[in-house]
Amino acid sequence: MSYQDAYSAINDENDSRWAFGTGFEQPVSTVDAPIPSGVDGADLAAYCLMLGEDALILSHRLQEWCTNGPELEDEVAIANIGLDLLGQARLLFGRAGQADGSGRDEDFYAFFRGPDEFRNVALVELPRGDFGELIARLLVFATWRLALFSRLTDSADPVLAAVAAKGVKEVAYHRDYAAGWAIRLGDGTDYSHERMRAGLDSIWPYIPELFVPHEIEARLATADVAVNPETVRAEFDDVLAQVFGAATLALPVRAAAQESGRVGRHTAALPPLLAEMQSVAREHEGAQW
C-alpha cells in the first residue's frame, strides 16, 4: 500500500495496526480566510511579522543549544520548544503574505529580509548565555507570550485566533518547563541560586520593551484584532511573583527600557544571527528538500 505523504500513511482510516503515534492533526490551514472588514491588510501583516519574528529568532537561539545542553533530556526539551516556536513563525508568516496582498511565502520573510526589516523584540536576539540565562529568558518570554496568546484567541482575525489557540497549549508547556527549572535552580544550592540570579539580571533590562505598544499594535487592538501588550503586564507580574516566591528569588528592580526591536532598533547580535540562519537559503535560492 502506498501513500501520498506521511500524514495519510499514519492517518489511514484502517490504522488500528498502529498501537502508538496516530491521530495527527493537520496544521492550521490559512487558506481562504478573509481579512476582517475595516482592518488594514498592511497593519495585519506587520503585526503577524512581529509575532512571527519573535518566535523565529528565539527558535534559532534555542537551536543553538543542540549539542550544548547540560543533559541529553533537556537538550531534547529545548529543541522541542524551538520547534514549537518555529511552527508558530511559519503560520504567522503565511498569514502576513496573505494580509499584505503579496502572496509571498514564509521563506521570503524568514530568509530574504535584512536586519533593518525585522521587528522582533530585543529579548529574543540576545546572544546565547548559560543555562540560567536560558531559563530566565524562556520564563519571561513564555509568560509574556502566553498572556498575549490567551487573549488573541478572541481575535477578530480568524487565522490569528486559530494560531493563538494552537500556540496557547505549546507556550503553556514552555512556561511550565522554564518555571520548573527556575524553582529548581533558585531553591537549589547557593551556587545554582546565584547562576539563576545572574541569568535574570542579564535579561531584565529587556523586559520593559515587551509592554510598550507599537502604534500598529495599538491600532489593531482597538479593532479587536491584536492585543495591546500594556494590558498583560499585571498578569505577567503576578505569574513571575509566584514563580520567584517558590524559587526564593527576589524580583529584580524594574529597569529602564533598552533597545527596542519593535521599532527597528536592534542589538549588535541580530545581524550575525540572521547571516547564519539565512546563509543556506540564500546560497541555494529556491532549493527544495
Partner 1 sequence: MTSEWPLYEVFIRGKRGLNHVHVGSLHAADDEMALHNARDLYTRRNEGVSICVVRSVNISASSPDEKDAFFAPSGDKIYRHPTFYEIPDNIPHI
CA distance 105 to 30: 12
Q: How far is the CB of 86 from partner 1 (least distance, A)?
A: 14
Q: How far is the CB of 192 from partner 1 (least distance, A)?
A: 11
Q: How far is the CB of 17 from partner 1 (least distance, A)?
A: 9
Q: Which is nearer to partner 1, 26 or 222 (CB)?
A: 26
Among the listed ranges 145-153, 176-184, 194-202, 209-217, the one in contact with partner 1 (CB under 8 A) is 176-184
**Interface residue with partner 1, options 104, 113, 128, 184 (CB under 8 A):** 184
Span 52-81, contacts to partner 1 by CB under 8 A: 71-74, 76-77, 80
Among the listed ranges 149-157, 177-185, 238-246, 261-269, the one in contact with partner 1 (CB under 8 A) is 177-185
Q: Which is nearer to partner 1, 82 or 229 (CB)?
A: 82
Q: Confirm or reject binding of residue 20 to partner 1 (CB under 8 A).
A: yes
- Are 159 and 33 contacting, i.e. CB atoms less than 8 angstroms apart? yes
Q: How far is the CB of 184 from partner 1 (least distance, A)?
A: 7
Among the listed ranges 22-30, 115-123, 229-237, 258-266, the one in contact with partner 1 (CB under 8 A) is 22-30
Residues at the interface with partner 1 (CB under 8 A): 16, 19-24, 71-74, 76-77, 80, 176-177, 180, 184
